[in-house]
Amino acid sequence: MESTTDIAAELTDLIETQRAYSSSAKIVQTVDEMLQETTNLKR
């Protein structure tokens, strides 16, 4: 059985990982939008 401290640490790690994933997804979205704008400028 895990201690409460271990569970709290795991939840903290999970939240940090989720935030990093969200940040990465936002970066990908922003780059995609920039590439789309660049493509539109070429037309």
pLDDT digits over 4-15, tens only? 889 999 999 999
| pTM attached to this predicted model | 0.71
Please tell me the predicted confidence (pLDDT) of residue 27. Answer: 98
User: Between these two residues, 43 and 21, which has the higher pLDDT value?
Assistant: 21
Tell me the average pLDDT across 9-25.
Answer: 98
DSSP string covering 1-43, please? Answer: ---HHHHHHHHHHHHHHHHHHHHHHHHHHHHHHHHHHHHHHH-
